[in-house]
């Protein structure tokens, strides 16, 4: 498992569940993946998971469990099901999986607008396309025309967007490119004037345009890391303190938060597309830093 996937799991998962609304555990996610791959999806040429989460039970079932649980701690949990968004053969599937029964309950093809989030594999593949597709990449020629070093350029996809009614039905993303150089703040140095559009299903550049040459901002003064800051510095803020002289007034037990008069279940929610994009950018930056250090 890559360190980025491990980080994602660490942020969102715990090793067990004790409440009907607790998120899926790593073992449950493994079961869901195995069930889907061993079903008719297993023969598909392409299968990618874009979301796997708890299919929350109906509120009456949760309330009935909660009342019974107060009387007996052995009260059985409602059946656990997972909701999955998967992409296969160019179609988006919404799948429900019975975790205990190890079976697919239902599978529907999503026909509405919008597309699933990007996966790590799609982000990495799309980011590499400007440098290698087609055999004589016009992007390389655009970088050369601007007298920039190709090894200082990195690209990352934006979120899946809308490109007009005539192009509906294809998952397309724009690729944004930046110049690193001797700063990690590459967002301050965009490579403007170049438009790259990638079809994620075909993993191919379907639109390319080099409209205008815009000077790339200098890297001096753009690095935001504390170790890279130089005087003069601004005024220092006064220290602050948060104190609870009589102790905390709440208790966190797994995914349960209890106070004197309240008990609630927290379920970690992270915006998956934003998180994936952030981790992808971190990975790119770390790769560039390693290359520079060597």
| CB count in 10 Å sphere of residue 280 | 20
CB 195 within 8 A of CB 177: no
Backbone angles phi, psi at 212, to 5 degrees: -155, 150
Tokens of 252: 């966190």
In angstroms, the CA 64 to CA 119 distance is 38
Query: Once rounded to an integer, what is the mean pLDDT over residues 55-74?
Result: 83
How large is the greatest C-alpha to C-alpha distance in the chain, in angstroms?
75
Query: Looking at residue 283, what is its pLDDT?
Result: 54
> Does 291 have pLDDT greater than 90?
no
More confident residue, 288 or 40: 40
Give yes or no for a contact between 148 and 142, defined as CB atoms under 8 angstroms apart.
no
Mean pLDDT for the chain overall = 83
Domains in the chain, ordered, with CATH? 3-109 (3.10.450.40), 120-223+273-293 (3.10.450.40)
Confidence at residue 24, expressed as pLDDT on a 0 to 100 scale: 92
pLDDT tens track for 229-272? 888 888 888 999 999 898 888 888 888 888 877 877 776 654 44
Q: Report whether 80 contacts 54 (CB < 8 A).
A: yes
Compute the distance between CA of residue 78 and CA of residue 213 in angstroms, rounded to an integer: 61
In angstroms, the CA 253 to CA 17 distance is 11
pLDDT exceeds cutoff 60 at 10: no
Higher pLDDT, 277 or 107: 107
pLDDT for 128-168, tens place per residue? 999 998 888 999 999 999 999 999 999 999 877 777 777 77
Q: How confident is the model at residue 192 (pLDDT cuts 50, 70, 90)?
A: very high
Q: How confident is the model at residue 4 (pLDDT cuts 50, 70, 90)?
A: very low
pLDDT > 70: percent of the chain: 83
Beta-carbon neighbour count of residue 195 at 10 Å?
13
């Amino acid at each position: 498992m890559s360190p980025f996937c491990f980080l994602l799991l660490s942020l969102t998962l715990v090793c067990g569940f004790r409440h009907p609304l607790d998120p899926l555990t790593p073992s449950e996610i493994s079961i869901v993946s195995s069930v889907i791959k061993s079903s008719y999806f297993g023969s598909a040429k392409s299968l990618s998971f874009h979301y796997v989460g708890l299919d929350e039970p109906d509120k009456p079932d949760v309330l009935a469990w909660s009342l019974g649980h107060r009387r007996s701690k052995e009260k059985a949990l409602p059946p656990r099901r997972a909701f999955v968004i998967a992409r296969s053969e160019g179609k988006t599937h919404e799948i429900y999986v019975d975790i205990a029964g190890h079976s697919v309950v239902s599978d529907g093809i999503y026909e509405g607008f919008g597309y699933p989030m990007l996966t790590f594999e799609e982000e990495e593949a799309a980011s590499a396309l400007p440098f290698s597709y087609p055999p004589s990449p016009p992007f390389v020629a655009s970088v050369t025309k601007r007298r920039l070093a190709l090894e200082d350029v990195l690209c990352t996809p934006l979120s899946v967007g809308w490109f007009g009614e005539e192009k509906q039905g294809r998952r397309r993303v724009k690729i944004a490119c930046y110049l690193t150089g001797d700063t990690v703040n590459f967002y301050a140095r965009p490579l403007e004037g170049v438009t790259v559009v990638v079809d994620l299903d075909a993993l191919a550049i379907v639109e390319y345009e080099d409209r205008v040459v815009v000077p790339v901002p200098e890297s001096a003064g753009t690095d935001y890391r504390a170790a890279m800051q130089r005087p003069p510095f601004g005024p220092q803020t006064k220290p602050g303190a948060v104190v609870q002289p009589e102790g905390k007034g709440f208790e966190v037990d797994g995914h349960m938060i209890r106070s004197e008069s309240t008990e609630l279940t927290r379920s970690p929610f992270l915006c998956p597309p934003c998180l994936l994009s952030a981790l992808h950018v971190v990975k790119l930056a770390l790769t560039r830093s390693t290359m520079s250090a060597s």
